[in-house]
Amino acid sequence: MSGFGALCPLPLRLGGRDATTSWTSADHAAAVRDLVLVARVTPFAHLVVTRTGSAVAVTRYRGVNGSGSTAAPTITLATDTLHAVYPMAWDDERGERREVSITQAVATPANATQGPVTTTINASSGRVRVSVAALVDGGAVQITVWGCYLDAAQIADYDGATDKTDSETEAEPYAATMLAMLRDARGSGFTRSRGGLVHVENLALARAHGATWRRAERLACAGNPALALETAEDWRKVLGVRRRDGDTDATLRTRNAAKLRAMLGATRQTVDDAVAELLGPLYVRTWRNYGSETIVDDNTGTFWPGINPGTPTSDLGGGAWYSDRQHIVVEVTRSARVSDAEFAAKMTDLVELLDLMLPATCTFDWCTGADDGFTLDEDLLDEGCLG
């Protein structure tokens, strides 16, 4: 993180001795969460459309994708209806291609000449239709549109991650410590003001020394896929993790770390640890069924060719092999802070992880908790609960 001007001895580290003057990881997560919420509800654009003679044109435009006529949508007028054509694509401030799908629009008269207006929207085509009783010559309409981005705002856009922790070694920024030492070492013959060439030189040296002190920590993090940043892509290649569109640094770290844990074998503890590593706060617990070690009458969920073969429909050839003692269900929680797309991606990662870790004799599923039981794969299949 950086802030407070070019001459400030930052970046800051999360944590510190004085909680009133430093940010904790929880403080940072809360601030980033608020930024994401603001980004997701902020209108996509404001535009003013004016009629001059038989022509209509955007006379003012300000949007997420830019300002001015070059960023505005195409406007046409047909049968007293303005058509502002979306979606549009643009390159954001990070150079990434973005698209928007308009979800809501509101239109109001922009001057006294224009009469009342009503707004409808065709979300499937992204075309904003503004119906006007009579768009008179010189009349103007102000339109505000909201939209959802294909790549919605995420906490990673603001350097946020759910796995951030307070620094245990840099309670005070190394650069700030070195800056104080340099100022004391120069003596009273040099100015101690926070402006001028002396301060700039001290600050440059302080940042260089601070970066040197921090390299040992960065090296330690680079050797751990759960913490790696610069080497996250190298870990991904080594572990054979597929990169998906929209993967953030935090997402890639969790997938890399879970994949590494999967190599430790399919013990109960390693499976739970790998799942918890992957899902983070979405993980609740893993359900396992244990019963009699032998096939008995009340254990009808175990099929064994020649002993308890099961129904013919369960036989795929060579007899049916199945035991509910070899079935696990991962209970997860749905969070309002996680979009449907993010949740679906996590569940896909979970299925791939369990398929990799568990032996062929074991089956698995995931569920979300419900008041009267569980929702398995989002279908109510077990109203009586598990276990």
How many Å from the N-terminal Cα to the C-terminal Cα in the chain? 47
Q: What is the pLDDT of residues 176-207, one digit of tens each?
A: 788 888 888 887 767 667 677 888 888 888 88
Average pLDDT of span 331-342: 78
Where b means 16+ CB within 10 Å and e means fewer, 308-342 reads bebeeeeeeeeebbbbebbbbbbbbeeeeebeeeb
- Whether 238 is covered by a domain: the verdict is no
Average pLDDT of span 341-357: 87
Among 48-52, 254-258, 297-301, which is the least confidently predicted range?
297-301
How would residue 328 be classed by pLDDT, with cut points 50, 70 and 90?
Answer: confident
- Whether 258 is covered by a domain: the verdict is no
Average pLDDT of span 120-138: 67
> What pLDDT does residue 194 have?
67
Same domain, 298 and 359: yes
Read off the pTM.
Answer: 0.52
Same domain, 136 and 52: yes
Q: Supply angle C-alpha 160, 283, 281, rounded to 5.
A: 25
> What pLDDT does residue 166 have?
75
Rg for the chain, CA atoms, rounded: 29
DSSP designation for 241: P
Question: What does the alpha-carbon distance between residue 379 and residue 120 come to, in Å, rounded to a whole number?
Answer: 35
How would residue 332 be classed by pLDDT, with cut points 50, 70 and 90?
Answer: very high
Is the pLDDT at 159 greater than 80? The verdict is no
Is the pLDDT at 342 greater than 70? The verdict is yes
326, 363 in Cβ contact below 8 A? Answer: yes
Question: What does the alpha-carbon distance between residue 373 and residue 343 come to, in Å, rounded to a whole number?
Answer: 21
- Whether 240 is covered by a domain: the verdict is no
> What pLDDT does residue 364 have?
86
How would residue 386 be classed by pLDDT, with cut points 50, 70 and 90?
Answer: very low
Same domain, 144 and 213: no
Same domain, 285 and 318: yes
Average pLDDT of span 40-68: 87
Question: What does the alpha-carbon distance between residue 170 and residue 163 come to, in Å, rounded to a whole number?
Answer: 18
Same domain, 149 and 177: no
> What pLDDT does residue 181 have?
86
DSSP one-letter string for 341-376:
HHHHHHHHHHHHHHHHHS-TT-EEEEEEEETTEEEE
- Whether 179 is covered by a domain: the verdict is yes
Is the pLDDT at 9 greater than 60? The verdict is no
* Strands of 74-78's sheet in order across: 74-78, 81-85, 127-132, 117-122
Among 221-225, 254-258, 310-314, 377-381, which is the least confidently predicted range?
377-381
Question: What does the alpha-carbon distance between residue 127 and residue 185 come to, in Å, rounded to a whole number?
Answer: 66
Among 51-65, 113-127, 234-248, which is the least confidently predicted range?
113-127
Which of residues 112, 131, 155 is at a domain's end?
A: 155
> What pLDDT does residue 162 have?
67
Same domain, 55 and 134: yes
| Average pLDDT in the chain | 75
- Closest alpha carbon to 49 in 23, 79, 69: 69
Q: Which residues contact 162 (CB under 8 A, 6 or more apart)?
A: 29, 155, 250, 280, 281
Question: What does the alpha-carbon distance between residue 141 and residue 236 come to, in Å, rounded to a whole number?
Answer: 52
- Residues in a beta bridge with 97: 91
Same domain, 140 and 183: no
Is the pLDDT at 350 greater than 70? The verdict is yes
Average pLDDT of span 75-103: 74
Is the pLDDT at 80 greater than 60? The verdict is yes
- Whether 252 is covered by a domain: the verdict is no
Q: Which residues contact 324 (CB under 8 A, 6 or more apart)?
A: 289, 291, 299, 301, 302
Tokens 């100022």 map to which residue? 183
> What pLDDT does residue 299 have?
55
Same domain, 313 and 367: yes
Cis peptide upstream of residue 225 (ω within 30 degrees of 0): no
How would residue 330 be classed by pLDDT, with cut points 50, 70 and 90?
Answer: very high
- Whether 340 is covered by a domain: the verdict is yes
- Whether 235 is covered by a domain: the verdict is no
- Whether 233 is covered by a domain: the verdict is no
Same domain, 283 and 209: no
> What domain range includes position 188?
1-17+166-222
Which of residues 121, 136, 155 is at a domain's end?
A: 155
- Closest alpha carbon to 285 in 368, 225, 206, 218: 368
How would residue 384 be classed by pLDDT, with cut points 50, 70 and 90?
Answer: very low
Residue 288 or 18, more confident: 288
Tokens 């101690």 map to which residue? 192
Same domain, 117 and 180: no
> What pLDDT does residue 62 have?
92
Same domain, 283 and 214: no
Count of the separate structural domains present in the chain? 3
244, 219 in Cβ contact below 8 A? Answer: no
Backbone angles phi, psi at 153, to 5 degrees: -55, 135
How would residue 13 be classed by pLDDT, with cut points 50, 70 and 90?
Answer: low
Same domain, 376 and 279: yes
Which of residues 155, 184, 208 is at a domain's end?
A: 155
Two structure tokens written together for 333: 């929680």
